[in-house]
Amino acid sequence: MILRHSLALAPPKKQSGAAHKPPKVRFFNFLQQDDFLICNSGYYLAKRTIDEISFIEMKCQHADEWYLRLHNTEQTFWLAFQLLGESTIGAPQKQQLLTFEYIGFFNRDNEVQFQLTPGKMWLIWIGLEISDLSGLQKEWKLFAHDQDNTFHILPPVKILYRIRKVLEQIQQLKESPFALRYKLSAPVIQLLETYHGDLVEQSKAIKHADVSLFHLAKEYIRAHYMDEGINISTMAKELLTSDRTLYRVFKENGLTVNSAIQSIRIYKGREMLRRTDLSVDMIAFRLHFSTAKYFIKQYVKYFGHTPAAERQLKETQELAKFEKKGVEERE
């Protein structure tokens, strides 16, 4: 596992008495001076691999934006915890990580860049080398992804009580020549299990919110289908969401926002054909179709017959009702 960074800082001095001490408050208290990559006033970066588990801790305050790049050759599942500041995980995929959020990602033979914002920064990483990826994905289904994909990032989650308690267990561990590796295994697995549980809960909450948003969006379209400027951007603004979220919610329901708007306009067009004497051209104009020809084409696609045939069908049905009523009155 290799770490690169853009800080123009010298490595820590190894001479006794000359080296700076690590921060008073840190999470990986078992990291020793030989593990320090940077240990200067205001800057601390250290890493260590114990058996198949890697630990990285970075704590500093920097005036400018900078980056840290992580590279590992073996298939590894990483958890990154943003304790202070904000960062953006760069190529191959981008994802912002806010204060007190954590995120998981799989990496094999990619250089993953963390772009770090100016100011106070505190990040820790825990990486577990995975020899049995299929077994891990069977046990924790939301970790599943294409095994040919060498980089796969999962959603960020808030650092809440359960995950904090596990991190505190690790924080209490000190360096020991024999027992440390065994003491670390259980909480690391517990972190993975807790992260998967958090993803399950987050997924349920998102699905519930998506259902509500989808119904609100449909109601908005029904209320504003006559507005010429209605589109995904105006709807997202009114519904206090983003274009991207609205697009995803409609896609999950087999629709696009434009197709939903058109569908409601087509059905309103049929209603207007049945209840008014407006011409097809006027109905197409009022419903903001580009041409009457296009309106007719879409109408046939929805109902299997033309608007003219719709009116003939209505007249035939009304005539049949009238004749039936006349027969009943004569009887």
Per-residue confidence band for 109, with pLDDT thresholds at 50, 70 and 90:
confident
Q: Looking at the structure, tell me whether residues 66 and 178 fall in a common domain.
A: yes
Q: Does some domain include residue 192?
A: no
Beta bridge partners of 70: 3, 112
Select, from the ranges 12-21, 62-71, 118-127, the one with the highest average predicted confidence (pLDDT).
Answer: 118-127
Q: Looking at the structure, tell me whether residues 113 and 240 fall in a common domain.
A: no
CA 57 to chain centre: 25
Average pLDDT of the residues of the chain: 88
pLDDT tens for each residue of 175-195: 999 999 999 999 999 999 999
> What pLDDT score was predicted for residue 145?
85
Position with higher pLDDT, 108 vs 6? 108
> What pLDDT score was predicted for residue 282?
94
The residue segments making up the domain with residue 262 are 225-326
Q: Does some domain include residue 275?
A: yes
Q: Does some domain include residue 197?
A: no
Last residue of a domain, one of 119, 154, 183: 183
Is the distance from CB of 28 to CB of 55 less than 8 angstroms?
A: yes
pLDDT tens for each residue of 210-230: 999 999 999 999 999 999 889
Q: Characterize the bridge pairing of strands 66-71 and 95-97.
A: unpaired
Whether the per-residue pLDDT at 62 is higher than 90: the answer is no
> What pLDDT score was predicted for residue 327?
46
Position with higher pLDDT, 327 vs 252? 252
Q: Does some domain include residue 200?
A: no
Q: Tokens standing for 294? A: 């296009």
Last residue of a domain, one of 183, 209, 235: 183
CATH number for 247? 1.10.10.60
Q: Looking at the structure, tell me whether residues 106 and 253 fall in a common domain.
A: no
Average pLDDT over residues 237-250: 92
Q: Tokens standing for 201? A: 């809960």
Q: Does some domain include residue 238?
A: yes
Distance CA 250, CA 180 (A): 50
Whether the per-residue pLDDT at 297 is higher than 90: the answer is yes
Per-residue confidence band for 15, with pLDDT thresholds at 50, 70 and 90:
very low
Per-residue confidence band for 13, with pLDDT thresholds at 50, 70 and 90:
low
Per-residue confidence band for 318, with pLDDT thresholds at 50, 70 and 90:
low
Whether the per-residue pLDDT at 129 is higher than 50: the answer is yes
| Non-local CB neighbours of 19 within 8 Å, separated by 6+ positions | 12, 13, 33, 36, 39
Whether the per-residue pLDDT at 326 is higher than 80: the answer is no
Q: Looking at the structure, tell me whether residues 178 and 230 fall in a common domain.
A: no
Average pLDDT over residues 100-111: 92
Q: Name the domain count of the chain.
A: 2
pLDDT tens for each residue of 145-174: 887 788 899 999 999 999 999 999 999 999
Whether the per-residue pLDDT at 16 is higher than 50: the answer is no
> What pLDDT score was predicted for residue 311?
85
Per-residue confidence band for 122, with pLDDT thresholds at 50, 70 and 90:
very high
Q: Looking at the structure, tell me whether residues 14 and 80 fall in a common domain.
A: yes
